[in-house]
Amino acid sequence: MQKYDLLIIGGGMVGLTLALAVRKLSSLTVAVVDNTSPCELTKDPEVRVSAINQASEQVFKNLDVWPLITNMRYQPYQGMHIWDKDAGGSLNFSAQDVDKENLGSIIENNVIRTALWQKVQADSGITIIDQKIASLGMGDSEVFASIDGQMPIMASYVVGADGANSWLRSQIDMPMTFRDYDHHALVATVNTKQHLTPTAWQVFLPSGPLAFLPLYEPGSYSIVWSTSPEQANDLAALSPEEFAKQLTSASDGKLGQLELASERYTYPLKMRLARDFMKERAILIGDAAHTIHPLAGQGVNLGLVDAAALADCFAQLSKQNQFTDINSTVALKAFARWRKNDAIEMISAMEAIKQIFAPLPLPLQTLRGFGLDLINKVKPAKQLMIKQALGEKSHLPSLSKQKENWSIT
């Protein structure tokens, strides 16, 4: 029987970040179960991208992953322009407002995972198991996993970083709070000949938000169009030319004449929140614990902070020789409360934004537009909003801070 300190189910961005973070902060041994290696990068950008904020970027820097990402391809952006299609009000955010070089970076998911994968493969304390778990048993002090075609595994803890449809969450029978947003997201890559300063654009349409995220090639954007399931299907069925016309019209031509540069994909948007993020010796992080509306692009950042925070907790327990001690439950429950509270805060914020930009009668639309323009002129209010988007908080994991500020608590 193979024995590890930690068993991670799911080798996506969050699971691999946790594995590297645990190894960075301790000498604990880790096994990651995932039978899908990263796809080879092509010359064309991947459709699925993430808006990585400064807190997540710092995690990648402290794990020595950031140079691998930047050596592939990424796009920092210095500005954000948000406007209301109906009311006409707008907000303009700039990195200069908070004395930063940029507001974040748009990176293809496969680029991030490839960089993390390379780093994981170079760490002798991390084992990749490219098979599926057949069954899982929970003892008082260990977790037992049967692996297809391999020896069983024993570990002190198991972590589910296996996505929104988490296998581990199902195995431990963890109840979920669930809400269907009744929206689908349509994602694609589009091009324009109008080359602008790297800026994230978002327009709130009556049917939902439409975001344009700048990619590494000038004039290339990843779009996320959140709308009703019916309209998403209709948009996906349009000819490339007609789709481009509708997209250009929806964005008020602010990015110039747009053209479709990829396949279009749609997926349903749902809010999920696990009742608890841990049960006995099983812990949930990332989308396995929570999913939120993508309108602010904070879902992956929330998951990466989960990973960094859990690594802090495991490292502290190991340092105090309490990793397998009964006292570990107290520390892990504190971790779970913290991360659940952050998830609830983010879910509530997304709901508030969604409601603010919901269709309104004409007089209230005018008032909403006036409110946006007013906020745009109030520098302290804008600075607060930007710092929230950057991931700046009073309570952050050690790996989300610059190295001189590291403190495992």
Higher pLDDT, 214 or 373: 214
- Residue 203 is assigned to a structural domain of this protein: no
- Residue 395 is assigned to a structural domain of this protein: no
- Residue 355 is assigned to a structural domain of this protein: yes
What is the greatest pairwise CA distance in the chain? 69
- Average pLDDT rounded to a whole number, residues 251-277: 95
- Residue 380 is assigned to a structural domain of this protein: no
- Residue 127 is assigned to a structural domain of this protein: yes
- Residue 88 is assigned to a structural domain of this protein: no
Q: What percent of the chain has pLDDT over 70?
A: 90
Between β-strands 104-108 and 265-274, what pairing exists: parallel, antiparallel or unpaired? unpaired
Higher pLDDT, 395 or 388: 395
154-205 pLDDT, tens digit each:
999 999 999 999 999 999 999 999 888 889 999 999 999 887 889 999 998 9
Higher pLDDT, 235 or 390: 235
Asked whether 292 and 350 are in contact (CB, 8 A), the reply is yes
130-165 pLDDT, tens digit each:
988 999 998 888 999 998 878 899 999 999 999 999
Which range scores top for mean pLDDT: 79-93, 106-120, 193-207, 337-351? 106-120
| Domain that residue 174 falls in | 2-74+105-178+270-364
SS3 (DSSP) at 6: strand
Confidence at residue 262, expressed as pLDDT on a 0 to 100 scale? 96
CA 8 to chain centre: 18
Give residue 29's identity as a one-letter amino acid code: T
Confidence at residue 91, expressed as pLDDT on a 0 to 100 scale? 83
Higher pLDDT, 367 or 310: 310
75-79, 154-158, 389-393: least confidently modelled range = 389-393
- Average pLDDT rounded to a whole number, residues 227-247: 96
210-220 pLDDT, tens digit each:
999 999 999 99
If one counts the domains in the chain, the total is 1
Confidence at residue 191, expressed as pLDDT on a 0 to 100 scale? 96
Tokens matching residue 145: 């996993």
Cβ-Cβ contacts under 8 Å for 388 (sequence gap 6 or more): none
Confidence at residue 409, expressed as pLDDT on a 0 to 100 scale? 45
- Residue 369 is assigned to a structural domain of this protein: no
Cβ-Cβ contacts under 8 Å for 282 (sequence gap 6 or more): 138, 143, 157, 158, 159, 160, 168, 171, 172
CA quadruple 322, 328, 332, 335: dihedral positive or negative?
Answer: negative
**pTM for the predicted model, two decimal places:** 0.92
CA distance 220 to 213: 8
- Average pLDDT rounded to a whole number, residues 289-315: 90
Q: Name the band, by pLDDT with cuts 50, 70 and 90, for residue 355.
A: low
* CATH number of the structural domain spanning residue 134: 3.50.50.60
Confidence at residue 360, expressed as pLDDT on a 0 to 100 scale? 54
- Residue 358 is assigned to a structural domain of this protein: yes
Q: Mean pLDDT score of the chain, rounded to an integer?
A: 89
